[in-house]
Structure 1
Amino acid sequence: MRTNVLVVDDDDHMRIALKESLSKAGYAVSLAGNGLEAVEEIDRRSFDLLITDVKMPQLNGIDLLQHVKDKRPLLPVILITAYGTVQDAVKVIKKGAFDYIQKPFNTDTLYGVVKRALGVNAGKVIYASREMKNVLSSAQKVAGTDATVLVLGESGVGKEVIARYIHENSGRKDMSFIAINCAALPENLLESELFGYEKGAFTGASARKPGKFELADKGTILLDEVTEMDLRLQAKLLRVLQEKEVEVVGARYPKKVDVRVIATTNRELSKFVEEGKFREDLFYRLNVFPILIPPLRERRDDIPPLVAYFLKKHAKGMDARVEGGAMEYLKQKYWKGNVRELENTMARACILSNCSVITMAHLPEQDSPKEVSLGSVRDMETRLILDALKSVRGNRTRAAAMLGITVRTLRNKLNEYRDMGLDIPAKED
């Protein structure tokens, strides 16, 4: 079934244009001409996303946002704002809106924000394995601090889910959580998205634009795929971490911010440092508390509950289930795309089975492990473990606690490394 989006705008042309754009992208779009009509629609039926203009008669977008937060707290809301209402947009972001889109905007901007907003409710952690229990234990311990967290793991393992878990279990949980994909934007756009700019800062800057760090003030910012950030921007990020202030493009003075930073990467950061692609000082600033999420093939106990969760999500109330042979196949599949690939597989299986009984006929063929290179992930795991051990002067118990694994698991890993001829840090007196 398609994702249901409610678009609210008193401008007929804008309302229709949004419907056409979103419908082309495959969304099921409903319309409301003002806030009161939207309240009736939201109270009457279920939606996956709300997009609303800020300035409307009778009930404006800010009041509508408050109604949604009271009645449907998990429904993500995107605000559409004109240049004159940027400050209002900043305020409502802090009140719980997912993000805002500034007029005029193009379809790429719209699709990007919508896609990220629809990923918000994927923040629930579904697991049964001991490996993920250890990950969550580490996340829980660091959540109550303001320490910078570096979440490592292959693409699709759930790095953003863990980042959201940390935020939602922190003292900042009632403030903004803002995620930005550093790999999705070119350098010049990424800079303005992160740090903002003043009116007249450059050609085309006809209004002030607050950056994501400003919008995340008192909350949390997630820098997804931080290794893709240009070296010049890395220097500006380092300043944010060191001085707690951002350099707004075109501003005379820096702006103070109080933001908790969580970064993610599927790369081996230490290798990027050695190659001169990532600043060493920034690496140490980000690597305060590393969390490594194992790939799905190393925590197969998580597959049955994840399958059940994705079936419930995509079957939309219909009684879909997986027969025994198909479930065993899912538990043994290699999953080079990890949890993201599993969800896509279950969504496709729901369609092919008419959300009924899913059999082998509804599942893709097994992929070959030979096609997947594990070298970089293993190198990253090895470096993470050895760095942790070195930082606690060889203390196995403290290193295991820092990594979120058992001492026995750590000991087994170290034995493997010795067999590989690696130097293991000795315990210091």
Structure 2
Amino acid sequence: MSKESILIIDDNELYIDALEAILRDDGYEEIFALTKGHNVLATLENNKIDLILLDISLPDVSGIELYSRIKENKLYSHIPIIFITGHGDVKIAVEAMKLGAFYFLSKPVQPYELQTLIRCALDNSKLQREIASLKVQLQTNQSLIIGKTPAIKKVMTRIAQVAHCDATVFVKGESGTGKSLVAKAIHESSLRSKHPFIAIDCGAIPSSLLESELFGHEKGAFTGAVRKKKGFFLRAHQGTLFLDEITNLPLELQPKLLRVIQEREITPIGSDKEIKVDVRIVTATNDNIEEMVNEGKFRRDLYYRLNVFSIDLPPLHQRREDIPLLAQHFLNKYSPNTKKSFSKEAMQTIINYDWPGNIRELDHAIEHAVIISNSKEIQKQDLPSALQSKTSSPSLNFDSLYTLKEMEKKYLEKVLMHTSYNQTQAAKILGIERKSLWRKLKRFEISIPQNENPNEAK
């Protein structure tokens, strides 16, 4: 039974009753409700409130205005606020989050999502003092999450918000933007940091083996199972399991992952015994997962469970001010004893390039330059040829409007043409594995001319 008290502000009494039922099922006893906003300060004055669920559309005052009133009062500014919004109010709710709201939920609210976010918000509120010191800790733990731009600072703030609770986290961003580093930073900054951090690339393991890798198997469970194997979930017990490229998870395995999230237990292949697991799950993708959900290629219910708390990583070209810092970091990494530096021309070339492969491509480019350079200063000619020949990635013609799917296909074609259809080089620029590029070519029905790169390994 929870001692925390929650205030619901919503003009729909039936919806208040529904929210109260969800909260009482989760052990909350102290629940207050208002149907209008004008009495909120009096309610806060007369009662100890730990969290507010606020409808963004009220009859007497807007949710945004009410939020501002609460946060302007120093006595109540620490109270976390979760907005409840209708479909048409999502843009307003996003603006509220920019002002500092903890999160927002769209109606109809899913019980599990509401309960998880409330626990996360309450934990976050209790640990505000720890978060102040946590930011110092994050600077150490996020040694590769380097930057000073507002975009990357927002990412760091999101990590700090979610680190100390067990909500599932979905990290979204282009290939090479540092999704695995974010997952690692969440783990290292959490109460699970002394326990295992296990990372698995769902796209790198054959689908026929993935179930065994995740859940384990008993000896003799199938041909080749000569010994009992502990899966990734058990190996990550009490720690964090990072499922990268989650969109590559086969449809037939998705219900099993959903069940693990719901029940917190697994059943190894060949066993009839259920094993309890205590694992924090972080997932990531560079695909348009919402599109895949709409196309039936990824289960909607699983996506909702995975996307309780999301972190969006910006591409490198949107945080250009961070490029010199990152470039210097990689230079120190690959030449720790020689103290190399960049010439002005080389640094300007690095800054002006659009980095379609993001941080991973920058990492490889600096490593290449260190290998080529025979002086203490990196010159422009030491950089990869892609940077020397142009200072921006292959351009697209925006005279016509395209869907995201069409745009992705056109960009793939541009990169392939840019590399003379060298798939290994194209994959490196895109920041993906060659196997992933092959799948994309198959998906978009892009053919490679037979007379191009005949000697390249298939």
Q: Which TM-score band (shorter chain)?
A: 0.5 to 0.7
Q: 1:302 aligns with which of 300, 316, 322?
A: 322
Q: Give 1:253 deviation, angstroms.
A: 1.4
Secondary structure in structure 1 of the residue aligned to 2:252: helix
Partners of 1:159 and 1:293 within 8 A in 2: yes
Instruction: Sort the Cα spacing of 1:378 and 1:242 in 2 relative to 1 into closer, same or farther, 3 A.
Output: farther
What corresponds to 2:164 in structure 1?
144
**Residue 257, structure 1, aligned to residue 282, structure 2:** no
Instruction: Sort the Cα spacing of 1:154 and 1:341 in 2 relative to 1 into closer, same or farther, 3 A.
Output: same
Query: Which AA in structure 2 matches 1:325?
Result: E
Q: Equivalents in 2 of 1:168, 1:268: separation in Å?
A: 28
Q: Equivalents in 1 of 2:157, 2:406: separation in Å?
A: 22
Instruction: Sort the Cα spacing of 1:377 and 1:138 in 2 relative to 1 into closer, same or farther, 3 A.
Output: farther
Cα deviations by residue, 1:330-378 (Å, 9 ceiling, x for unpaired): 1111100000000000000001113621111112332434159996499
Partners of 1:123 and 1:165 within 8 A in 2: no
Q: Equivalents in 2 of 1:275, 1:160: separation in Å?
A: 27
Instruction: Sort the Cα spacing of 1:181 and 1:302 in 2 relative to 1 into closer, same or farther, 3 A.
Output: same
Secondary structure in structure 2 of the residue aligned to 1:180: strand
What corresponds to 1:204 in structure 2?
224
Partners of 2:243 and 2:281 within 8 A in 1: yes
Secondary structure in structure 2 of the residue aligned to 1:151: strand
Secondary structure in structure 2 of the residue aligned to 1:281: helix
What corresponds to 1:169 in structure 2?
189
What corresponds to 1:368 in structure 2?
393
Partners of 1:225 and 1:265 within 8 A in 2: yes
Q: State TM-score, norm by structure 2.
A: 0.54
Partners of 1:175 and 1:218 within 8 A in 2: yes
Q: Give 1:205 deviation, angstroms.
A: 1.0
Q: Equivalents in 1 of 2:397, 2:267: separation in Å?
A: 42
Q: Equivalents in 2 of 1:319, 1:273: separation in Å?
A: 49
Q: Equivalents in 2 of 1:182, 1:285: separation in Å?
A: 18
Q: Equivalents in 2 of 1:209, 1:277: separation in Å?
A: 30
What corresponds to 2:209 in structure 1?
189
Q: State TM-score, norm by structure 1.
A: 0.58
Partners of 2:356 and 2:393 within 8 A in 1: no
Partners of 1:236 and 1:247 within 8 A in 2: no
Partners of 1:173 and 1:219 within 8 A in 2: yes
Q: Give 1:124 deviation, angstroms.
A: 3.1
Q: Equivalents in 2 of 1:266, 1:279: separation in Å?
A: 17
Partners of 1:234 and 1:282 within 8 A in 2: yes
Partners of 1:139 and 1:166 within 8 A in 2: yes
Secondary structure in structure 1 of the residue aligned to 2:326: helix
Give the length in aligned residue pairs: 260
What corresponds to 2:242 in structure 1?
222
What corresponds to 1:133 in structure 2?
153
Q: 1:280 aligns with which of 300, 311, 314?
A: 300
What corresponds to 1:213 in structure 2?
233
Identity level (%): 45
Secondary structure in structure 1 of the residue aligned to 2:395: helix
Q: 1:291 aligns with which of 311, 314, 333?
A: 311
Partners of 1:178 and 1:212 within 8 A in 2: yes
Query: Which AA in structure 2 matches 1:370?
Result: S
Q: Equivalents in 2 of 1:192, 1:173: separation in Å?
A: 26
Instruction: Sort the Cα spacing of 1:220 and 1:346 in 2 relative to 1 into closer, same or farther, 3 A.
Output: same
Q: Equivalents in 2 of 1:222, 1:209: separation in Å?
A: 19
Cα deviations by residue, 1:203-224 (Å, 9 ceiling, x for unpaired): 2211110000000000000000
What corresponds to 1:248 in structure 2?
268
Cα deviations by residue, 1:245-276 (Å, 9 ceiling, x for unpaired): 11210111121100000000001111001111
Higher RCO structure, 1 or 2 (CA under 8 Å, sep 6+): 1
Query: Which AA in structure 1 matches 2:207?
Result: E
Q: Equivalents in 2 of 1:372, 1:310: separation in Å?
A: 33
Q: Equivalents in 2 of 1:263, 1:338: separation in Å?
A: 19
Q: Equivalents in 1 of 2:397, 2:216: separation in Å?
A: 40
Instruction: Sort the Cα spacing of 1:293 and 1:124 in 2 relative to 1 into closer, same or farther, 3 A.
Output: same
Q: Equivalents in 2 of 1:123, 1:193: separation in Å?
A: 30
Partners of 2:353 and 2:393 within 8 A in 1: no
**Residue 325, structure 1, aligned to residue 345, structure 2:** yes
Matches within 5 A, 1:6-405: 124-354=144-374, 356-363=376-383, 364=385, 365=388, 366=390, 367-370=392-395, 376=404
What corresponds to 1:412 in structure 2?
none
Query: Which AA in structure 1 matches 2:283?
Result: A
Q: Equivalents in 2 of 1:355, 1:184: separation in Å?
A: 39
